């Protein structure tokens, strides 16, 4: 189970320098000829780092002369000329705000309404008016416990995106569940009743599982279960039924910005 960051002081995941003196050099000394030029950064970094992924975006940071370099949902920092590279978290110590984490939350946030629900296993109770998403692995113990709790909810629709992250058996079970004639019943019977899914036809189209895995990576879903609510908020890890009810009620008030 993954855990959500606690409130208070900003959480430092990892701070390393490439090279070790890069931060001091980049922040304290810049060549007079250095130009704040996105084109120069885009040219120099790939030329000097052959394995650097394609650069999607270069933007200024609050630190003069330091730029954010975005590659997908990965962030690095560099000086104006692309001479130095900084890896780690950018912290505003006055506001005690982790600017890197805040940026990643924006980049990897969910737009609930645009999720590919056709790639999910769906079940509902009552009117199904309240909606939520769960990213789950069929062999995840916390996911099984959560699934049992979710069945106590009223008037809810639950979309489960299968992401087999716990090994080959998870991958096989996800395929067997997805390819079953009644995938919702097969999912329920396995997660709650422990009934092994019937073996799937090798010719069954399981591309949805691959898309789910790509979706989870895009949004940095790093563990199961992970919950997403209709207001675009997310929770990493299993939470209690009372908290789920609160979040379902809050999400009915309208979506937050993704």
| pLDDT tens readout for residues 39-71 | 999 999 999 998 899 999 999 999 999 999 998
CB < 8 Å & 24+ apart, contacts of 213-218? 213/163, 213/164, 213/165, 215/115, 215/116, 215/119, 215/161, 216/135, 216/161, 216/163, 218/73, 218/108
Q: What pLDDT score does 254 carry?
A: 60
pTM summary value: 0.70
Q: What pLDDT score does 147 carry?
A: 96
Which domains does the chain show, CATH number per domain? 16-107 (3.10.450.70), 112-251 (3.40.30.10)
CA distance 156 to 249: 11
What stretches in the chain show pLDDT beneath 70? 1-36, 253-258
Q: Name the one residue in this structure whose structure tokens are 């709790």.
A: 149
Q: What pLDDT score does 106 carry?
A: 80
CB < 8 Å & 24+ apart, contacts of 59-63? 60/36, 61/90, 61/99, 62/92, 62/99, 63/27, 63/90
Contact 180, 197 (CB under 8 A): yes
Q: What pLDDT score does 143 carry?
A: 97
Q: What pLDDT score does 231 carry?
A: 93
């Amino acid at each position: 189970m993954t855990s959500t960051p606690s409130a208070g002081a900003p959480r430092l995941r990892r701070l390393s320098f490439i090279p070790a003196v890069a931060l001091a050099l980049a922040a304290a000394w810049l060549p007079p000829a250095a130009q704040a030029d996105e084109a120069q950064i885009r040219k120099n970094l790939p030329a000097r780092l052959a394995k650097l992924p394609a650069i999607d975006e270069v933007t200024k940071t609050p630190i003069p002369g330091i730029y954010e370099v975005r590659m997908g949902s990965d962030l690095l920092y560099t000086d104006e000329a692309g001479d130095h590279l900084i890896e780690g978290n950018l912290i505003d110590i006055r506001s005690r705000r982790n600017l890197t984490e805040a940026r990643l939350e924006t980049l990897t946030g969910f737009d609930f309404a645009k999720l590919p629900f056709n790639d999910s296993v769906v079940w509902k109770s009552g009117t199904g008016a309240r909606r939520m998403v769960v990213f789950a692995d069929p062999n995840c113990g916390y996911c099984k416990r959560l699934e049992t709790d979710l069945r106590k909810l009223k008037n809810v629709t639950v979309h489960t995106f299968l992401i087999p992250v716990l090994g080959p058996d998870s991958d096989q079970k996800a395929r067997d569940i997805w390819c079953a004639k009644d995938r919702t019943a097969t999912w329920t019977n396995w997660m709650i009743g422990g009934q092994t899914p019937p073996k799937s036809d090798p010719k069954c189209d399981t591309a949805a599982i691959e898309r789910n895995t790509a979706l989870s990576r895009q949004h940095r879903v790093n563990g199961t279960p992970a919950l997403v609510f209709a207001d675009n908020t997310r929770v990493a890890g299993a939470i209690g039924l009372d908290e789920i009810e609160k979040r379902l009620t809050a999400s009915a008030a309208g979506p937050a910005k993704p």
